[in-house]
Amino acid sequence: MPPKKKTVTSTATKKKNQNKDDMSFLLEMQKQNEKQVKLTTTTVGNNKKIETVNKLTPKEWPLEQTKPEPTVPIKYLFKDEKFPSGEIHSYKKNEQNKTVPATTILLDNKATIETTTSRYHSLELRPGAEEREEKIQETLKEARHAAEVHRTARKWFKEHVVKPGMKVINAAEAFENKARELLEADKFKSGIAFPLGCSINYVAAHYTPNPGDVTIIGKDDIIKFDLGVQYKGTIIDSAFTLYWNDMFQPLAEAAREATNAGVAFAGIGVRLGDVGAAIQEVMESYEVEIKGKIYRVRSIRGLCGHSIERYRVHAGKSVPTVACDDDTKMEEGEFFAIETFGSTGRGQITEEGVVSHYGKNFDYKGDGSELRNPEAKQLLRVINEQFGTLPFCKRYLDRVGQKKYLTALRDLVSNGIVNEYPPFVDLRGSYTSQFEHTIFLRPTCKEVLSRGDDY
Protein backbone atom coordinates (compact mmCIF):
# COMPACT_ATOMS: atom_id res chain seq x y z
CA MET A 1 0.00 0.00 0.00
CA PRO A 2 1.51 3.41 -0.94
CA PRO A 3 2.77 5.52 1.99
CA LYS A 4 0.39 8.37 1.16
CA LYS A 5 -2.59 6.08 1.41
CA LYS A 6 -1.34 4.73 4.73
CA THR A 7 -1.10 8.28 6.08
CA VAL A 8 -4.67 9.08 5.05
CA THR A 9 -5.94 5.90 6.67
CA SER A 10 -4.02 6.67 9.86
CA THR A 11 -5.43 10.21 10.06
CA ALA A 12 -8.97 8.98 9.47
CA THR A 13 -8.52 6.37 12.18
CA LYS A 14 -7.32 9.00 14.63
CA LYS A 15 -10.34 11.18 13.87
CA LYS A 16 -12.64 8.22 14.29
CA ASN A 17 -11.07 7.35 17.64
CA GLN A 18 -11.32 10.99 18.78
CA ASN A 19 -15.01 11.07 17.92
CA LYS A 20 -15.49 7.84 19.88
CA ASP A 21 -13.66 9.32 22.88
CA ASP A 22 -15.78 12.47 22.85
CA MET A 23 -18.98 10.47 22.45
CA SER A 24 -18.02 8.07 25.26
CA PHE A 25 -17.37 11.04 27.53
CA LEU A 26 -20.77 12.58 26.82
CA LEU A 27 -22.62 9.28 27.18
CA GLU A 28 -20.98 8.62 30.53
CA MET A 29 -21.91 12.10 31.71
CA GLN A 30 -25.50 11.54 30.57
CA LYS A 31 -25.68 8.23 32.46
CA GLN A 32 -24.53 9.92 35.65
CA ASN A 33 -27.07 12.68 35.22
CA GLU A 34 -29.86 10.19 34.65
CA LYS A 35 -29.15 8.68 38.07
CA GLN A 36 -30.27 11.96 39.62
CA VAL A 37 -33.84 11.83 38.29
CA LYS A 38 -36.72 9.42 37.88
CA LEU A 39 -39.00 9.49 34.84
CA THR A 40 -42.70 8.93 35.36
CA THR A 41 -44.88 8.17 32.32
CA THR A 42 -48.49 9.31 32.56
CA THR A 43 -51.22 8.41 30.08
CA VAL A 44 -53.68 11.21 29.39
CA GLY A 45 -56.53 11.77 26.96
CA ASN A 46 -56.24 10.38 23.41
CA ASN A 47 -53.59 7.97 24.72
CA LYS A 48 -50.89 10.65 24.69
CA LYS A 49 -48.03 9.93 27.05
CA ILE A 50 -46.28 12.63 29.02
CA GLU A 51 -42.99 12.08 30.79
CA THR A 52 -42.39 14.13 33.88
CA VAL A 53 -39.26 14.39 35.98
CA ASN A 54 -39.44 13.60 39.68
CA LYS A 55 -36.38 15.25 41.19
CA LEU A 56 -34.78 13.82 44.27
CA THR A 57 -35.90 15.36 47.53
CA PRO A 58 -33.37 17.53 49.39
CA LYS A 59 -32.87 14.77 51.97
CA GLU A 60 -31.55 12.45 49.25
CA TRP A 61 -28.80 14.79 48.09
CA PRO A 62 -25.32 14.61 49.67
CA LEU A 63 -24.44 17.40 52.09
CA GLU A 64 -21.19 18.06 50.21
CA GLN A 65 -20.47 18.48 46.52
CA THR A 66 -19.37 15.35 44.66
CA LYS A 67 -15.85 15.25 43.17
CA PRO A 68 -14.30 15.42 40.70
CA GLU A 69 -17.57 15.96 38.82
CA PRO A 70 -20.09 18.13 40.66
CA THR A 71 -23.55 16.56 40.46
CA VAL A 72 -25.38 18.09 43.43
CA PRO A 73 -27.50 21.14 42.47
CA ILE A 74 -26.07 24.14 44.26
CA LYS A 75 -29.21 25.04 46.19
CA TYR A 76 -29.08 21.76 48.15
CA LEU A 77 -25.64 22.66 49.49
CA PHE A 78 -26.97 25.92 50.96
CA LYS A 79 -30.30 24.95 52.46
CA ASP A 80 -30.58 28.29 54.25
CA GLU A 81 -30.02 29.98 50.85
CA LYS A 82 -27.04 31.85 52.24
CA PHE A 83 -24.98 31.52 49.10
CA PRO A 84 -21.39 32.80 49.20
CA SER A 85 -21.00 36.49 48.52
CA GLY A 86 -18.67 37.68 45.83
CA GLU A 87 -15.56 39.73 46.34
CA ILE A 88 -16.38 42.98 48.16
CA HIS A 89 -14.74 46.29 47.25
CA SER A 90 -15.16 49.48 49.23
CA TYR A 91 -15.92 52.84 47.65
CA LYS A 92 -13.23 55.41 48.25
CA LYS A 93 -13.58 59.16 47.89
CA ASN A 94 -10.91 61.64 46.90
CA GLU A 95 -10.62 65.25 48.07
CA GLN A 96 -13.30 66.33 45.59
CA ASN A 97 -15.63 63.67 47.07
CA LYS A 98 -15.63 61.69 43.82
CA THR A 99 -15.52 57.93 43.62
CA VAL A 100 -12.04 56.61 42.82
CA PRO A 101 -10.74 53.04 42.31
CA ALA A 102 -11.76 50.89 45.25
CA THR A 103 -9.82 48.43 47.38
CA THR A 104 -10.73 44.83 48.00
CA ILE A 105 -11.63 44.24 51.61
CA LEU A 106 -13.11 40.75 51.84
CA LEU A 107 -13.98 37.55 50.08
CA ASP A 108 -15.50 35.80 53.07
CA ASN A 109 -19.26 35.83 53.46
CA LYS A 110 -18.85 35.89 57.24
CA ALA A 111 -16.48 38.84 57.41
CA THR A 112 -17.52 42.31 58.54
CA ILE A 113 -17.68 45.05 55.91
CA GLU A 114 -15.81 48.20 56.87
CA THR A 115 -16.08 50.75 54.10
CA THR A 116 -14.24 54.01 53.60
CA THR A 117 -17.15 55.62 51.81
CA SER A 118 -18.88 58.72 53.14
CA ARG A 119 -22.26 57.46 51.81
CA TYR A 120 -25.03 56.58 54.23
CA HIS A 121 -26.81 53.28 53.95
CA SER A 122 -30.01 53.42 51.88
CA LEU A 123 -32.11 52.46 54.93
CA GLU A 124 -31.10 55.72 56.59
CA LEU A 125 -31.84 57.97 53.65
CA ARG A 126 -35.18 57.47 51.95
CA PRO A 127 -38.77 56.69 52.89
CA GLY A 128 -39.68 53.19 51.71
CA ALA A 129 -36.01 52.25 51.52
CA GLU A 130 -36.58 49.20 53.71
CA GLU A 131 -38.83 47.63 51.09
CA ARG A 132 -36.30 48.42 48.37
CA GLU A 133 -33.55 46.93 50.50
CA GLU A 134 -35.51 43.69 50.82
CA LYS A 135 -35.82 43.51 47.04
CA ILE A 136 -32.09 44.14 46.67
CA GLN A 137 -31.31 41.33 49.11
CA GLU A 138 -33.59 38.94 47.23
CA THR A 139 -31.95 39.86 43.93
CA LEU A 140 -28.49 39.44 45.48
CA LYS A 141 -29.48 35.98 46.70
CA GLU A 142 -30.48 35.02 43.17
CA ALA A 143 -27.26 36.46 41.75
CA ARG A 144 -25.07 34.67 44.29
CA HIS A 145 -26.87 31.41 43.56
CA ALA A 146 -26.17 31.79 39.83
CA ALA A 147 -22.58 32.87 40.53
CA GLU A 148 -21.86 29.76 42.60
CA VAL A 149 -23.23 27.63 39.75
CA HIS A 150 -20.92 29.46 37.34
CA ARG A 151 -17.83 28.97 39.54
CA THR A 152 -18.55 25.29 40.15
CA ALA A 153 -19.32 24.44 36.53
CA ARG A 154 -16.32 26.27 35.09
CA LYS A 155 -13.88 24.73 37.60
CA TRP A 156 -14.96 21.23 36.56
CA PHE A 157 -14.98 22.19 32.88
CA LYS A 158 -11.48 23.71 32.94
CA GLU A 159 -9.88 20.95 35.02
CA HIS A 160 -11.58 17.82 33.69
CA VAL A 161 -13.28 18.42 30.34
CA VAL A 162 -11.92 20.84 27.77
CA LYS A 163 -8.71 19.89 25.98
CA PRO A 164 -7.04 20.17 22.57
CA GLY A 165 -8.35 17.69 20.04
CA MET A 166 -11.90 17.94 21.40
CA LYS A 167 -14.78 19.09 19.23
CA VAL A 168 -15.93 22.56 20.22
CA ILE A 169 -19.57 21.44 20.11
CA ASN A 170 -18.89 18.63 22.61
CA ALA A 171 -17.05 20.99 24.95
CA ALA A 172 -19.85 23.56 24.69
CA GLU A 173 -22.64 21.10 25.44
CA ALA A 174 -20.73 19.58 28.36
CA PHE A 175 -20.26 23.02 29.93
CA GLU A 176 -23.82 24.19 29.29
CA ASN A 177 -25.39 20.96 30.50
CA LYS A 178 -23.37 21.00 33.70
CA ALA A 179 -24.56 24.54 34.45
CA ARG A 180 -28.15 23.48 33.75
CA GLU A 181 -27.77 20.48 36.04
CA LEU A 182 -26.31 22.49 38.93
CA LEU A 183 -29.05 25.09 38.59
CA GLU A 184 -31.91 22.64 37.96
CA ALA A 185 -32.77 24.55 34.82
CA ASP A 186 -36.44 25.17 34.03
CA LYS A 187 -37.03 26.73 30.61
CA PHE A 188 -36.34 30.46 30.93
CA LYS A 189 -37.17 30.55 34.65
CA SER A 190 -33.61 29.42 35.38
CA GLY A 191 -30.80 28.14 33.23
CA ILE A 192 -28.47 29.36 30.52
CA ALA A 193 -28.73 33.11 29.85
CA PHE A 194 -27.31 32.97 26.32
CA PRO A 195 -25.44 30.52 24.06
CA LEU A 196 -21.96 29.70 25.32
CA GLY A 197 -19.37 31.83 23.54
CA CYS A 198 -16.55 29.66 22.18
CA SER A 199 -14.75 32.18 19.98
CA ILE A 200 -11.35 31.02 18.70
CA ASN A 201 -8.27 33.02 17.69
CA TYR A 202 -9.21 36.03 15.51
CA VAL A 203 -12.92 35.49 16.24
CA ALA A 204 -13.53 37.69 19.29
CA ALA A 205 -17.19 37.12 20.17
CA HIS A 206 -20.61 35.68 19.24
CA TYR A 207 -19.47 32.29 17.98
CA THR A 208 -21.07 29.15 19.32
CA PRO A 209 -21.17 25.89 17.33
CA ASN A 210 -24.27 25.21 15.27
CA PRO A 211 -25.57 21.64 14.91
CA GLY A 212 -23.12 19.56 12.88
CA ASP A 213 -20.14 21.88 13.52
CA VAL A 214 -16.96 19.77 13.36
CA THR A 215 -14.49 22.43 14.54
CA ILE A 216 -11.72 20.95 16.70
CA ILE A 217 -9.88 22.81 19.48
CA GLY A 218 -6.21 22.95 18.49
CA LYS A 219 -3.21 22.97 20.81
CA ASP A 220 -2.13 26.29 19.28
CA ASP A 221 -5.57 27.92 19.61
CA ILE A 222 -6.63 30.56 22.10
CA ILE A 223 -10.31 30.25 22.94
CA LYS A 224 -12.72 32.46 24.89
CA PHE A 225 -15.50 30.79 26.87
CA ASP A 226 -18.30 33.23 27.74
CA LEU A 227 -20.99 31.64 29.92
CA GLY A 228 -24.18 33.32 31.11
CA VAL A 229 -26.20 31.75 33.92
CA GLN A 230 -29.51 33.09 35.21
CA TYR A 231 -31.80 32.35 38.12
CA LYS A 232 -35.28 33.92 37.95
CA GLY A 233 -33.91 36.32 35.36
CA THR A 234 -30.98 37.55 37.47
CA ILE A 235 -27.97 37.05 35.21
CA ILE A 236 -24.31 36.28 35.88
CA ASP A 237 -22.22 36.97 32.79
CA SER A 238 -18.58 35.93 33.07
CA ALA A 239 -15.89 34.89 30.60
CA PHE A 240 -12.35 33.51 30.60
CA THR A 241 -9.63 32.63 28.09
CA LEU A 242 -7.94 29.25 27.72
CA TYR A 243 -4.82 28.28 25.78
CA TRP A 244 -2.33 25.40 25.71
CA ASN A 245 0.64 27.24 24.18
CA ASP A 246 2.46 29.50 26.64
CA MET A 247 3.08 32.14 23.97
CA PHE A 248 -0.49 33.35 24.60
CA GLN A 249 0.07 33.98 28.31
CA PRO A 250 0.71 37.77 27.97
CA LEU A 251 -2.33 38.21 25.71
CA ALA A 252 -4.61 36.44 28.18
CA GLU A 253 -3.08 38.28 31.12
CA ALA A 254 -3.65 41.63 29.40
CA ALA A 255 -7.41 41.01 29.20
CA ARG A 256 -7.59 39.61 32.73
CA GLU A 257 -5.79 42.58 34.28
CA ALA A 258 -7.66 45.10 32.12
CA THR A 259 -10.93 43.60 33.36
CA ASN A 260 -9.67 43.84 36.94
CA ALA A 261 -8.81 47.48 36.32
CA GLY A 262 -12.31 48.16 35.03
CA VAL A 263 -13.82 46.40 38.04
CA ALA A 264 -11.63 48.40 40.41
CA PHE A 265 -12.51 51.75 38.81
CA ALA A 266 -16.25 51.13 38.58
CA GLY A 267 -18.51 52.65 41.19
CA ILE A 268 -21.52 54.82 41.93
CA GLY A 269 -21.25 58.11 40.06
CA VAL A 270 -18.29 57.01 37.92
CA ARG A 271 -18.32 58.08 34.26
CA LEU A 272 -18.36 55.17 31.82
CA GLY A 273 -15.78 56.90 29.64
CA ASP A 274 -13.37 56.96 32.58
CA VAL A 275 -13.83 53.21 33.11
CA GLY A 276 -12.89 52.73 29.46
CA ALA A 277 -9.75 54.83 29.93
CA ALA A 278 -8.68 52.71 32.92
CA ILE A 279 -9.23 49.52 30.90
CA GLN A 280 -7.33 50.77 27.84
CA GLU A 281 -4.36 51.98 29.88
CA VAL A 282 -3.78 48.53 31.36
CA MET A 283 -4.61 46.52 28.23
CA GLU A 284 -2.29 48.45 25.94
CA SER A 285 0.64 48.33 28.36
CA TYR A 286 1.15 44.68 27.30
CA GLU A 287 3.15 43.17 24.46
CA VAL A 288 3.10 39.59 23.27
CA GLU A 289 5.58 37.66 21.13
CA ILE A 290 3.94 35.15 18.79
CA LYS A 291 6.03 33.04 16.43
CA GLY A 292 8.98 35.42 16.71
CA LYS A 293 7.03 38.62 16.12
CA ILE A 294 6.18 41.14 18.85
CA TYR A 295 2.70 42.67 18.92
CA ARG A 296 1.31 45.43 21.10
CA VAL A 297 -1.94 44.26 22.62
CA ARG A 298 -4.82 46.49 21.56
CA SER A 299 -8.12 46.96 23.33
CA ILE A 300 -10.92 46.10 20.89
CA ARG A 301 -13.03 49.24 20.46
CA GLY A 302 -16.27 47.84 19.16
CA LEU A 303 -16.85 45.38 22.00
CA CYS A 304 -18.08 46.76 25.31
CA GLY A 305 -19.21 45.76 28.75
CA HIS A 306 -22.83 46.51 29.60
CA SER A 307 -25.43 46.99 32.25
CA ILE A 308 -27.63 43.98 33.01
CA GLU A 309 -31.29 43.90 33.93
CA ARG A 310 -33.69 41.08 34.73
CA TYR A 311 -33.93 38.82 31.67
CA ARG A 312 -31.96 41.39 29.68
CA VAL A 313 -28.28 40.65 29.09
CA HIS A 314 -27.47 43.92 27.33
CA ALA A 315 -29.48 46.65 29.01
CA GLY A 316 -29.28 50.39 28.41
CA LYS A 317 -25.66 51.27 29.28
CA SER A 318 -22.45 50.27 27.52
CA VAL A 319 -19.08 50.17 29.29
CA PRO A 320 -16.39 51.11 26.74
CA THR A 321 -13.00 49.43 26.65
CA VAL A 322 -11.19 52.56 25.47
CA ALA A 323 -11.09 56.17 26.63
CA CYS A 324 -14.03 58.20 25.30
CA ASP A 325 -16.29 61.16 26.10
CA ASP A 326 -19.21 59.10 27.44
CA ASP A 327 -20.43 61.08 30.47
CA THR A 328 -23.07 58.49 31.43
CA LYS A 329 -22.65 57.55 35.06
CA MET A 330 -22.99 54.29 36.92
CA GLU A 331 -25.74 54.29 39.53
CA GLU A 332 -26.54 52.58 42.79
CA GLY A 333 -28.38 49.28 42.44
CA GLU A 334 -27.12 48.50 38.92
CA PHE A 335 -25.57 45.28 37.65
CA PHE A 336 -22.71 45.61 35.17
CA ALA A 337 -20.73 43.12 33.11
CA ILE A 338 -17.19 44.47 32.94
CA GLU A 339 -15.62 42.70 29.99
CA THR A 340 -12.53 43.42 27.94
CA PHE A 341 -11.06 42.05 24.73
CA GLY A 342 -7.40 42.19 23.78
CA SER A 343 -6.13 41.69 20.25
CA THR A 344 -2.90 41.41 18.27
CA GLY A 345 -4.79 42.81 15.27
CA ARG A 346 -6.24 46.26 14.60
CA GLY A 347 -8.38 46.34 17.73
CA GLN A 348 -11.48 46.79 15.57
CA ILE A 349 -14.11 44.24 14.68
CA THR A 350 -16.31 43.38 11.72
CA GLU A 351 -19.09 40.82 11.28
CA GLU A 352 -18.07 37.60 9.56
CA GLY A 353 -19.19 34.00 9.45
CA VAL A 354 -22.33 31.95 9.93
CA VAL A 355 -24.84 33.32 12.43
CA SER A 356 -25.29 31.22 15.56
CA HIS A 357 -26.76 33.68 18.10
CA TYR A 358 -30.39 34.83 17.98
CA GLY A 359 -32.63 36.70 20.37
CA LYS A 360 -36.18 37.98 20.43
CA ASN A 361 -36.40 41.75 20.08
CA PHE A 362 -36.77 42.98 23.65
CA ASP A 363 -39.18 45.72 22.56
CA TYR A 364 -41.47 43.39 20.60
CA LYS A 365 -44.75 42.98 22.52
CA GLY A 366 -46.88 41.35 19.81
CA ASP A 367 -48.24 37.83 19.60
CA GLY A 368 -47.14 37.08 16.04
CA SER A 369 -50.62 37.55 14.56
CA GLU A 370 -49.10 39.65 11.77
CA LEU A 371 -47.10 36.66 10.53
CA ARG A 372 -48.43 34.83 7.46
CA ASN A 373 -46.36 31.69 7.97
CA PRO A 374 -48.04 29.42 10.57
CA GLU A 375 -44.69 27.72 11.23
CA ALA A 376 -43.20 31.09 12.16
CA LYS A 377 -46.08 31.68 14.58
CA GLN A 378 -45.49 28.28 16.16
CA LEU A 379 -41.75 28.91 16.45
CA LEU A 380 -42.43 32.26 18.13
CA ARG A 381 -44.60 30.48 20.71
CA VAL A 382 -41.74 28.06 21.40
CA ILE A 383 -39.26 30.93 21.75
CA ASN A 384 -41.57 32.75 24.17
CA GLU A 385 -42.07 29.61 26.25
CA GLN A 386 -38.48 28.36 26.31
CA PHE A 387 -36.30 31.48 26.12
CA GLY A 388 -38.43 34.58 26.55
CA THR A 389 -36.20 37.57 25.76
CA LEU A 390 -32.97 35.65 26.38
CA PRO A 391 -30.70 34.82 23.41
CA PHE A 392 -30.70 31.30 21.96
CA CYS A 393 -29.05 29.32 19.20
CA LYS A 394 -29.99 26.54 16.79
CA ARG A 395 -28.63 23.90 19.15
CA TYR A 396 -31.13 25.09 21.75
CA LEU A 397 -34.00 24.81 19.27
CA ASP A 398 -32.89 21.25 18.49
CA ARG A 399 -32.71 20.54 22.22
CA VAL A 400 -36.38 21.45 22.76
CA GLY A 401 -37.50 19.26 19.86
CA GLN A 402 -37.82 21.74 17.01
CA LYS A 403 -37.29 20.45 13.46
CA LYS A 404 -37.19 22.09 10.04
CA TYR A 405 -37.37 25.56 11.57
CA LEU A 406 -34.91 27.46 9.36
CA THR A 407 -37.56 29.08 7.13
CA ALA A 408 -39.66 30.05 10.14
CA LEU A 409 -36.60 31.50 11.86
CA ARG A 410 -35.75 33.55 8.76
CA ASP A 411 -39.32 34.89 8.73
CA LEU A 412 -39.03 36.01 12.36
CA VAL A 413 -35.74 37.74 11.59
CA SER A 414 -37.06 39.46 8.43
CA ASN A 415 -40.08 40.74 10.37
CA GLY A 416 -37.89 42.26 13.08
CA ILE A 417 -39.27 39.97 15.78
CA VAL A 418 -35.99 38.09 16.27
CA ASN A 419 -32.53 39.62 15.94
CA GLU A 420 -29.50 37.72 14.67
CA TYR A 421 -25.98 38.31 15.96
CA PRO A 422 -23.15 37.27 13.60
CA PRO A 423 -19.64 36.53 14.92
CA PHE A 424 -17.34 39.51 15.55
CA VAL A 425 -13.83 39.14 14.18
CA ASP A 426 -10.57 41.08 13.99
CA LEU A 427 -8.00 40.56 11.22
CA ARG A 428 -7.58 37.00 10.01
CA GLY A 429 -4.41 35.62 11.51
CA SER A 430 -4.65 37.76 14.62
CA TYR A 431 -5.40 36.47 18.12
CA THR A 432 -7.84 37.75 20.71
CA SER A 433 -8.47 37.26 24.44
CA GLN A 434 -11.34 38.03 26.83
CA PHE A 435 -12.15 38.17 30.53
CA GLU A 436 -15.37 39.32 32.14
CA HIS A 437 -16.97 39.74 35.57
CA THR A 438 -20.44 40.69 36.76
CA ILE A 439 -20.56 43.31 39.51
CA PHE A 440 -23.35 44.84 41.58
CA LEU A 441 -23.22 48.41 42.92
CA ARG A 442 -24.50 48.17 46.46
CA PRO A 443 -25.13 51.35 48.50
CA THR A 444 -21.95 51.10 50.55
CA CYS A 445 -19.75 48.79 48.48
CA LYS A 446 -19.59 46.92 45.20
CA GLU A 447 -19.67 43.16 44.91
CA VAL A 448 -17.78 41.24 42.24
CA LEU A 449 -20.27 38.39 42.05
CA SER A 450 -18.49 36.10 39.62
CA ARG A 451 -15.05 36.28 41.26
CA GLY A 452 -13.46 32.90 41.97
CA ASP A 453 -10.12 31.38 42.81
CA ASP A 454 -9.33 31.07 39.10
CA TYR A 455 -9.88 34.70 38.01
* Residues labelled catalytic: 226, 237, 306, 314, 339, 436
Residue 377, amino acid: K
Residue 434, amino acid: Q
**Three-class SS of the chain:** CCHHHHHHHHHHHHHHHHHHHHHHHHHHHHHHHHCCEEEEEEECHHHCEEEEEEECCHHHCCCCCCCCCCCCCHHHHCCCCCCCCCEEEECEECCCCCEECCCEEECCCCCCCCCCCCCCCHHHCCCCHHHHHHHHHHHHHHHHHHHHHHHHHHHHHHHHCCCCCCEHHHHHHHHHHHHHHHHCCECCCEEEEEEEEEEECCEEECCCCCCCCCCECCCCCEEEEEEEEEECCEEEEEEEEEECCHHHHHHHHHHHHHHHHHHHHCCCCCEHHHHHHHHHHHHCCCEEEECCEEEECEECCCCCEEEEECCECCCCCEECCCCCCCCCECCCCCEEEEEEEEECCCCCCEECCCCCEEEECCCCCCCCCCCCCHHHHHHHHHHHHHCCCCCECHHHHHHCCCCCCHHHHHHHHHCCCEEEECCEECCCCCCEEEEEEEEEECCCEEEECCCCCCC
Please count the CA atoms within 13 angstroms of the CA of 163 that sit on its side-chain side.
Answer: 9
Residues across the chain: 455
- In Å, how far are 90, 137, 270, 288, 289 from 247, measured between CA atoms? 36, 44, 36, 7, 7
Residue 259, amino acid: T
CA dist., res. 159 & res. 100, Å (int): 37
CA dist., res. 270 & res. 396, Å (int): 38
